[in-house]
C-alpha cells in the first residue's frame, strides 16, 4: 500500500506541476486516474498525502483537490526554495487586496476574473515602455 500511495503522490505532484495550478477539479482527477471518488477521497486521507493535498468544496458546490506547499527545510528561505525574484512580482495587486482571503478558483472572487490582477499581469514592463 505504501508503494501505491507514493506513486499516487508522485502522479498528483506531476499533474499539478505540469498544469501550473494549485487546484484541480476532483472529477477530472477521478476520470484521469480511473478511480472512484470514494477511492480518491480515501487516498487523500493517507498520512503521506493529507499534508499536501486536500479536498475542498467551493461555494458553488464544486469539489477540488487543492495542493498546499510543503514546509521549507530548516534554514531555507522561501525566496531561494521557490526561486522567487521579487522584482518580477512588484506591483502585484494581490499583496494589498482586502479580498485575498475570499479569492480562490470557483469562488465569486478569483484571479481568473479579477480585473486588477489581469491589468497587472498583462501590462507592459517598464523596460518595454521605454523602448
Domain boundaries, the chain: 2-67, 78-124
For position 27, what pLDDT does the model report? 92
For position 37, what pLDDT does the model report? 92
For position 69, what pLDDT does the model report? 65
Name the DSSP letter for residue 123: S
Closest by Cα among 63, 62, 71, 69 to 13: 69
For position 58, what pLDDT does the model report? 85
Q: How far is CA 85 from CA 6, 46, 48, 109, 115, in A?
A: 32, 35, 31, 26, 24
Cell numbers given for 4: 501505491
Helix (H, G, I), strand (E, B) or coil at 61: coil
Mean pLDDT within 102-106: 77
- As to burial, measured by CB atoms within 10 angstroms (0-12 exposed, 13-18 middle, 19+ buried), residue 129 is exposed
Alpha carbon distance 12, 33 (integer Å): 10
CA neighbours within 13 Å on the CB side: how many for 31?
5
For position 78, what pLDDT does the model report? 47
Mean pLDDT within 53-65: 88
Mean pLDDT within 67-91: 57
Q: Say yes or no to pLDDT of 3 above 60.
A: yes
The architecture that CATH gives domain 2-67 is: Orthogonal Bundle (1.10)
- For the stretch 23-58, pLDDT in tens is 889 999 899 888 899 988 988 888 778 888 888 888
Strand partners for 65? 24, 55
Mean pLDDT within 101-130: 73
Under 8 Å between Cβ of 107 and 97:
no
Amino acid at each position: 500500500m505504501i508503494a501505491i500511495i507514493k506513486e499516487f503522490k508522485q502522479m498528483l505532484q506531476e499533474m499539478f506541476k505540469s498544469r501550473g495550478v494549485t487546484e484541480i477539479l476532483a472529477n477530472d482527477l477521478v476520470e484521469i486516474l480511473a478511480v472512484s471518488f470514494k477511492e480518491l477521497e480515501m487516498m487523500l486521507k493517507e498520512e503521506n498525502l493529507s499534508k499536501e493535498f486536500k479536498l475542498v468544496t467551493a461555494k458553488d458546490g464544486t469539489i477540488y483537490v487543492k495542493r498546499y506547499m510543503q514546509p521549507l527545510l530548516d534554514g531555507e528561505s522561501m525566496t531561494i526554495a521557490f526561486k522567487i525574484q521579487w522584482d518580477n512580482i512588484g506591483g502585484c495587486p494581490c499583496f494589498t487586496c482586502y479580498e485575498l482571503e475570499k479569492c480562490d478558483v470557483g469562488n465569486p472572487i478569483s484571479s481568473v476574473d479579477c480585473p486588477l490582477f489581469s491589468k497587472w499581469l498583462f501590462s507592459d514592463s517598464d523596460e518595454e515602455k521605454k523602448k
